[in-house]
Amino acid sequence: MNGGLVRLREIITMITPSERKVASFILEHPRQLVGLSVAQLAKQSGGSQAAVIRLCKSAGFKGYQELMLKVAGDLYEEPPISGYQEIHPADPIQHLIEQVSANTIQSIRDTAKILNPLYVEKAIKALEQARRLFFLGTGASYLVASDAQHKFLRINKPGFAFSDADMQRMASSMLTPEDTVIGISYSGQTAVTIECMQMARDAGATTISLTRYGNNPVSSLALIPLHISALEHDARSGGISSRITQLHVIDMLYLGVANRSEPRLLDDPKQEYRAVHRMNF
């Protein structure tokens, strides 16, 4: 049982100042948390007992005991890769290689900690049973949506991903309860994705979100919220870690559906290869 520190890092900019005091204390002194009562944590962090309880709720814990157990689980893991490392223009190439790789690996590990297996199971089932799949995303998130469309087509699950915002709106207006939609937005604040998710929900379609951890408009519109972690804080990063972790989750969903697909869809794995390479490039 772990993932407590990851959750706190993900939500620390979205919580109240009093909750932030408590979260900052835990992140800076995680070992001191173990064994503390709510009152003791409030006193040492400079917060209040009410702030501790609110923080547990904001981070998605069932209570203070779960927070303590998950942080304790983090402490007994292998030493994690150091936090996100900025890349500077003067850095040598070897440093660039090591830090980009380390940041990506850490984001994937942290995502595995905060993903709820129950929601992943529900998402796989919804995708498997859907008549049509729609993948919503703009900017870098559209690249993830397009990748999802490509992957699911390989197992005879046709999906749609549109780069044009008006096409996304048009498709969302024609959804039915037999359709499943995945809204992809790291921030969870993308206006077009919010609009289309609302239309999907109003139409009775199954809505799945893929966003950063914490409350945000896109995840609030999802029947099945899935969360990722990303360590980037520099605008120059261009959404590298978030895109990689989004693709990572799409791979989980794709393989989950593929493993449950009818054998006839997977009988001849070379069929697709022959079809593609029949073309002369």
Q: What is the CATH number of the domain that holds 38?
A: 1.10.10.10
Domain boundary among 52, 75, 98: 75
- pLDDT tens column, 73-115: 888 765 554 555 667 778 888 888 888 888 888 888 889 988 9
CB 191 within 8 A of CB 221: no
CA distances to 34, 106, 172, 220, 228 from 101, rounded to whole Å, are 32, 9, 37, 32, 17
| d(C-alpha 98, C-alpha 81), whole Å | 11
Q: Are residues 141 and 203 in the same domain?
A: yes
Asked whether residue 85 is domain-assigned, the answer is no
Structural domain that includes position 201 = 114-266
- pLDDT tens column, 170-201: 999 999 999 999 999 999 999 999 999 999 99
- pLDDT tens column, 226-251: 999 876 555 445 567 788 999 999 99
Q: What's the pTM? A: 0.80
